């Protein structure tokens, strides 16, 4: 195992109870239950820890256990009888009636009893894995029934976790947020975008902070442009209902903006959540808004050709399954450096990556010969977890010839270290149990997201002739118009 250097900050999750509402749903089954199991299995969960699963569907113990087993198997866990048993001992199911105060009063009593049994001191995490429309009523009742403590009280705590998408428009996102804030303080609300929990995303910050060679060149003197790519090989995966309402831009913009911020924000003075969020906020405040004119010139929306044949999709659907756009950041570090973004479904490959493309050599023998961009710093976030730096090197041999080469750091190759590291959801749950909001989105970020996205959506909706919905073949990296978006600036997609 490689020795770590000096700074080693480890989250210590506090003993607590975890209450999962909407426990019969897709998110709960695919992500949250496996993450809870993973934390127990990897011995990262707090020692004193219990889990209450709640949903409206009646479930007896046998049905609950077989659901849990199925969730874990689907997520790739094949626990031994002992470890599954040990997990089950921490779990109980409560049938929910979210409209009834009795449900919350009984829950309050039950949590008190479980606290006593498990050695937990009134510390509770409520995960709302229900449709967003239920967030406000549930949070309100948690508050009115005494399940949300005063955030200033240091001896006990209660936190609420919710997951994007946060609303479907500026107005309803604001109203959703106001509803939550009426019940819970900002310090009690943990808004997840699971991209921030990814190991490779965090490594972007780590590399910049620790290696001055990178941060010193992380600016408009050296970087020509930045590219962000979020490509999915798959299409709708049975989520037509959701996707028809939302489209790709609403679904993906949070991921896009989080990747942009983590790549381009100034380094915070410390890794405390307060400093981190302040720097991230400063970055977002420097992003130039896309007005209607910019939307027409700098954005491309598209739909894959067989999309309308998918079950549940309207024959005249205008939902975009692909988006490309360019934006600028008006601060001293990035002024003049364009950020190009591509995100789409059915693009032929699954790939999330960040590419920082360095300027071409301005002096020496290559000044007058076009060798493209010799230096690209690339972060592959998923499915590969890799950092590469491309450069030009001398070809071995008697002549002075040059060849492109790549230096690579493969996370998976660091097998021993990587084996026990938490998945994105596991990490986010630990951070919430530790009371650290660094990786979670603030109320400001939700508002910014919608202020940034809304003019784009409005331009697409109200001026379709200037912003046509381009077709692209399923399995291709988007329409020709997306190629043109970057080509007209004399550049190409990485």
Smallest gap, in angstroms, from Cβ of residue 477 to ligand NAP? 24
- Stretch of 86-94, 130-138, 277-285, 287-295 lying at the interface with ligand NAP (CB under 6 A): 130-138
The residue sitting closest to ligand NAP, measured at its beta carbon, is 25
Say if residues 171 and 179 touch (Cβ distance below 8 Å).
no
**Active-site position among 194, 225, 255, 395:** 255
User: Does 57 contact ligand NAP by CB under 6 A?
Assistant: yes
Nearest to 251 by CA among 268, 223, 232: 232
Angle at 168 between CA 164 and CA 173, to 5 degrees: 75
- Stretch of 128-136, 271-279, 312-320, 366-374 lying at the interface with ligand NAP (CB under 6 A): 128-136
Instruction: Choose, by CB under 6 A, the member of 56, 69, 282, 470 that binds ligand NAP.
Output: 56
User: Does 132 contact ligand NAP by CB under 6 A?
Assistant: yes
User: Does 32 contact ligand NAP by CB under 6 A?
Assistant: no
User: Does 134 contact ligand NAP by CB under 6 A?
Assistant: yes
Query: In the structure encoding, which two tokens stand for residue 427, read together?
Result: 């990490």
User: Does 55 contact ligand NAP by CB under 6 A?
Assistant: yes
Query: In the structure encoding, which two tokens stand for residue 167, read together?
Result: 């609303």
- Stretch of 52-60, 70-78, 150-158, 381-389 lying at the interface with ligand NAP (CB under 6 A): 52-60
Query: In the structure encoding, which two tokens stand for residue 245, read together?
Result: 């309402």
Which residues on neighbouring strands pair with residue 394, listed in sequence order? 402
Local structure of 228: helix, strand or coil: strand
Smallest gap, in angstroms, from Cβ of residue 168 to ligand NAP? 10
In the complex with ligand NAP, the residue whose CB is nearer, 134 or 481, is 134
User: CA 87, CA 95: separation in Å to the nearest integer?
Assistant: 20
User: Does 27 contact ligand NAP by CB under 6 A?
Assistant: yes
User: Does 25 contact ligand NAP by CB under 6 A?
Assistant: yes
User: Does 244 contact ligand NAP by CB under 6 A?
Assistant: no
User: CA 91, CA 101: separation in Å to the nearest integer?
Assistant: 23
Output helix, strand, coil percentages for the chain, rounded to the nearest 5: 40, 20, 40
Instruction: Choose, by CB under 6 A, the member of 136, 163, 177, 445 that binds ligand NAP.
Output: 163
User: Does 26 contact ligand NAP by CB under 6 A?
Assistant: yes
Smallest gap, in angstroms, from Cβ of residue 24 to ligand NAP? 4
| DSSP secondary structure letters along 90-129 | HEEEEE--TT-HHHHHHHHHHHHHHHHHHT--SEEEEEE-
In the complex with ligand NAP, the residue whose CB is nearer, 123 or 164, is 164
In the complex with ligand NAP, the residue whose CB is nearer, 197 or 268, is 197
Tokens 């992380």 locate to: 218
Instruction: Choose, by CB under 6 A, the member of 13, 17, 22, 38 that binds ligand NAP.
Output: 22
User: Does 99 contact ligand NAP by CB under 6 A?
Assistant: no
In the complex with ligand NAP, the residue whose CB is nearer, 115 or 424, is 424
User: CA 427, CA 235: separation in Å to the nearest integer?
Assistant: 27
In the complex with ligand NAP, the residue whose CB is nearer, 328 or 423, is 423
Smallest gap, in angstroms, from Cβ of residue 239 to ligand NAP? 8
Beta strands, E only, 364-417: 376-382, 386-394, 402-410
- Stretch of 21-29, 62-70, 214-222, 369-377 lying at the interface with ligand NAP (CB under 6 A): 21-29
User: CA 249, CA 328: separation in Å to the nearest integer?
Assistant: 18
User: Does 263 contact ligand NAP by CB under 6 A?
Assistant: no
Question: Before 223, cis peptide (omega within 30)?
Answer: no
Tokens 């819970």 locate to: 184
Q: Is 255 annotated in the active site?
A: yes
Helix axes 170-183, 135-144, angle to 10 degrees: 10
Q: Is 141 left (phi over 0), alpha (psi -120 to 50) or beta?
A: alpha
Instruction: Choose, by CB under 6 A, the member of 112, 131, 312, 420 that binds ligand NAP.
Output: 131
User: What letter would DSSP give residue 89?
Assistant: H
Say if residues 335 and 311 touch (Cβ distance below 8 Å).
no
Instruction: Choose, by CB under 6 A, the member of 91, 120, 129, 302 that binds ligand NAP.
Output: 129
- Stretch of 5-13, 24-32, 78-86, 389-397 lying at the interface with ligand NAP (CB under 6 A): 24-32
| Terminal Cα distance for the chain, rounded | 34
Instruction: Choose, by CB under 6 A, the member of 17, 19, 20, 24 that binds ligand NAP.
Output: 24
Smallest gap, in angstroms, from Cβ of residue 67 to ligand NAP? 11
User: CA 441, CA 447: separation in Å to the nearest integer?
Assistant: 10
Instruction: Choose, by CB under 6 A, the member of 14, 15, 98, 384 that binds ligand NAP.
Output: 98
In the complex with ligand NAP, the residue whose CB is nearer, 22 or 344, is 22
Local structure of 287: helix, strand or coil: strand
> Parallel, antiparallel, or unpaired: how do β-strands 189-192 and 322-327 relate?
unpaired
Q: What are phi and psi of 369, to 5 degrees?
A: -110, 130
Instruction: Choose, by CB under 6 A, the member of 34, 39, 51, 130 that binds ligand NAP.
Output: 130
In the complex with ligand NAP, the residue whose CB is nearer, 30 or 491, is 30
Question: Which residues are annotated as catalytic?
Answer: 255
Which residues here bind ligand NAP, judged by CB under 6 A? 22, 24-28, 55-57, 98, 129-134, 163-165
């Amino acid at each position: 195992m490689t020795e770590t250097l000096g700074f080693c900050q480890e989250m210590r999750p506090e003993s607590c109870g975890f209450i999962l509402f909407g426990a019969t749903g897709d998110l709960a089954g695919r992500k949250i239950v496996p993450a809870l199991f993973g934390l127990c299995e990897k011995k990262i969960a707090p020692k004193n820890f219990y889990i209450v699963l709640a949903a409206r569907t009646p479930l007896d113990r046998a049905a609950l256990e077989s659901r849990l087993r199925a969730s874990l198997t689907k997520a790739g866990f094949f626990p031994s009888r002992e470890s599954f048993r040990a997990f089950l001992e921490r779990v109980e199911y409560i049938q929910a009636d979210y409209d009834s105060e009795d449900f919350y009063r009984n829950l309050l009593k039950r949590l008190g009893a479980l606290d006593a049994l498990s050695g937990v001191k009134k510390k509770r995490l409520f995960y709302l894995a229900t449709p967003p429309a239920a967030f406000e009523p549930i949070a309100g009742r948690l508050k009115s029934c005494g399940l949300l403590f005063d955030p200033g009280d240091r001896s006990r705590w209660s936190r609420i976790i919710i997951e994007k998408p946060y609303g479907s428009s500026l107005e309803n996102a604001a109203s959703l947020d106001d509803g939550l804030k009426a019940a819970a303080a900002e310090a009690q609300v943990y808004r997840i975008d699971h991209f921030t929990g990814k190991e490779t995303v965090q490594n972007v910050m780590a590399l910049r902070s620790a290696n001055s060679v990178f941060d010193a060149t992380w600016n408009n003197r050296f970087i020509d442009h930045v590219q962000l790519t979020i490509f999915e090989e798959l299409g709708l995966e049975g989520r037509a209902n959701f996707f028809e309402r939302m489209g790709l831009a609403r679904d993906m913009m949070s991921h896009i903006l989080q990747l942009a911020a983590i790549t381009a924000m100034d380094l915070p003075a410390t890794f405390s959540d307060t400093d981190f969020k302040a720097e991230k906020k400063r970055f977002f405040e420097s992003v130039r808004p896309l007005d209607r004119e910019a939307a027409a010139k700098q954005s491309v929306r598209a739909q894959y050709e067989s999309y309308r044949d998918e079950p549940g999709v309207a024959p005249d659907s205008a939902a975009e399954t692909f988006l490309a756009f360019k934006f600028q950041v008006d601060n001293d570090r990035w002024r003049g450096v364009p950020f190009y973004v591509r995100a789409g479904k059915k693009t032929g490959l699954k790939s999330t990556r960040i590419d920082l493309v360095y300027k071409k050599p301005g002096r020496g023998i290559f000044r007058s010969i076009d060798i493209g961009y010799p230096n690209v710093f690339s972060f592959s976030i998923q499915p590969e977890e890799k950092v590469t730096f491309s450069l030009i090197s001398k070809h071995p041999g008697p002549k002075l010839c040059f060849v492109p080469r790549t230096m690579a750091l493969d996370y998976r190759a660091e097998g021993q270290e990587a084996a026990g590291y938490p998945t994105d959801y596991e990490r986010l749950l630990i951070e919430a149990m530790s009371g650290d909001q660094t990786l979670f989105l603030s109320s400001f970020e939700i508002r910014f997201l919608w202020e940034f996205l809304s003019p784009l959506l409005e331009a697409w909706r109200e001026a379709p002739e200037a912003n046509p919905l381009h077709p692209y073949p399923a399995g291709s990296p988007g329409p020709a118009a997306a190629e043109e978006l970057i080509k007209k600036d004399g550049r190409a997609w990485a």
